[in-house]
Amino acid sequence: MSVSQSTPQPSPVAPIEPAPLFRVAAIQMVSGPDVAENLRVAGELVAEAAAAGARLVALPEYFPLISPDETAKVAIRERDGAGPLQDFLREAARRHRICLVGGTIPLVSDSDSKVRNSTLVFDERGERVARYDKIHLFGFQKGEERYDEAATIEPGRDVVTFDAACGRVGLSVCYDLRFPELFRAMGDVSLIVLPAAFTWTTGRSHWEVLLRARAIENQCYVLAPAQGGKHPGGRVTWGHSLVVDPWGEVLACRDEGAGVVCADLDASRLATVRANLPALRHRCLT
């Protein structure tokens, strides 16, 4: 596995030849403020996904912590390369011999009062092969429901892809879903992974349609592990973790509650969609 990071331009590097069939899994959780309990649940679900034959497993955004206190994430942030959250991901990937996309964890930022909301990827040897820092920070207000990620999170800047046995994989997080230019900047990818904690309000209206749109316009698979349910403290997330194919068809979905969503990525299906409708080759504007 290798990692590629780039500025928002299509990658000039040709993708590796994907495996004919490649099973992936999205982990859905309802995380709370107890980090140890969240890691216990995540570990059990990763093991379940691996036992089902998944070779790439993705955890949701904020899998180690969702708290009514938005500053709680700052208290558990880790320096890049060391810390119990990173150890958990590394050891789980190595133990189950999978590629593990670690949802997001809080890493140190330039500001003492903020974090980077970071997706880390570990290969089957437990070696880190990619890091993506969430670029687009969610802001929303409707009545008493209000979110302002910029208050505690420092945005990333780099578009990130990495090579896996299923082909090139592009990384994104939650609110990034609303910005299609990010996905175009990934270049030719076989799979987009988008860990999320979509709110119930926005998810009910936009989650599935946006994920299907990203799959259709980029002619690739999309794997979207999500938080899904009522969390301690009252927050409600939409859930509906799913896998979408390059034609925009939903292959698997879990509405709410903790669990595992598995599906097989089919290289021949990807090739057929792109051959029948060569939209990526028909692009005129960059």
Does residue 249 have an active-site annotation? no
CB 38 within 8 A of CB 63: yes
Token pair 């959780």 is at which residue?
Answer: 29
Does residue 61 have an active-site annotation? yes
Token pair 């069939």 is at which residue?
Answer: 21
Catalytic residue among 73, 99, 114, 134, which? 134
CB 83 within 8 A of CB 62: no
Alpha carbon of 97 to those of 54, 110, 125, 202, 218: distances in Å? 10, 34, 7, 36, 29
**Helix 84-96 crosses helix 35-51 at what angle (to 10 degrees)?**
20
Does residue 154 have an active-site annotation? no
Query: Dihedral of CA 262/238/133/119: which sign?
Result: negative
Give the residue among 43, 33, 38 at the shortest CA–CA distance from 66: 33
CB 111 within 8 A of CB 104: no
Token pair 């349609």 is at which residue?
Answer: 209
Catalytic residue among 99, 166, 174, 220, which? 174
CB 245 within 8 A of CB 251: yes
Residues annotated as part of the active site: 61, 134, 174
